[in-house]
């Protein structure tokens, strides 16, 4: 099981902010912004580099869920950033696709 599958299974505790049949969202344990939520598919896709055409609906659901959580947490007006890290150079550390929702402070560009 991936670390995030263990969170889905409630084997590892997390501050969950949203759940439905396909998606789980919870606060990052090491937040990089005042709001830092991870949105994951319950079905494991290791990383976006390995996503398949048949995953399109689920990928769309992740983005729409992240948008809705951002709205629910009051980020729509001030803005927010969605990040997907893929592979070594992308900074991925957990091989279970996740969208980072970051907000509550200005973001910088280019990213580090």
First to last CA, the chain: 30
> Distance (Å, rounded) from C-alpha 63 to C-alpha 89?
22
> Is there binding between residue 80 and ligand 5GP (CB under 6 A)?
no
36 is catalytic: no
**Angle (CA) 28 90 106, round 5°:** 55
Task: Figure out which of the listed residues 12, 51, 58, 82 binds ligand 5GP, where binding follows CB under 6 A.
Answer: 12
Cβ pair 57, 51 in contact under 8 A: no
- Least distance from C-beta 35 to ligand 5GP, angstroms? 13
Taking CB under 6 A as the binding criterion, the range among 49-57, 60-68, 72-80, 91-99 that sits at the site for ligand 5GP is 91-99
- Asked if 29 interacts with ligand 5GP (CB under 6 A), we say yes
| Contact (CB, 8 A) for 75 and 103 | yes
Determine which one of 96, 98, 100, 108 is catalytic: 98
| Burial (Cβ within 10 Å: 0-12, 13-18, ≥19) of residue 111 | exposed
Told to check if 30 binds ligand 5GP by CB under 6 A, we report yes
Nearer to ligand 5GP, 54 or 111 (CB): 111
Binding interface with ligand 5GP (CB under 6 A) = 3, 12, 14, 26, 28-30, 38, 85, 91-94
Where in the sequence numbering do the catalytic residues fall? 98
């Amino acid at each position: 099981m991936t670390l995030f599958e263990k969170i889905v299974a409630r084997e590892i505790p997390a501050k969950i902010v949203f759940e439905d049949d396909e998606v789980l969202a919870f606060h990052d344990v090491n937040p990089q912004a005042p709001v830092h939520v991870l949105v994951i598919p319950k079905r494991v896709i290791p990383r976006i580099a390995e996503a398949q055409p048949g995953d399109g609906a689920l990928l769309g659901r992740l983005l729409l869920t992240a948008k809705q959580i951002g709205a629910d947490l009051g980020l729509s007006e001030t803005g927010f950033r969605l990040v997907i890290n893929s592979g070594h150079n992308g900074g991925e550390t957990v091989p279970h696709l996740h969208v980072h929702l970051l907000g509550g402070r200005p973001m910088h560009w280019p990213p580090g």
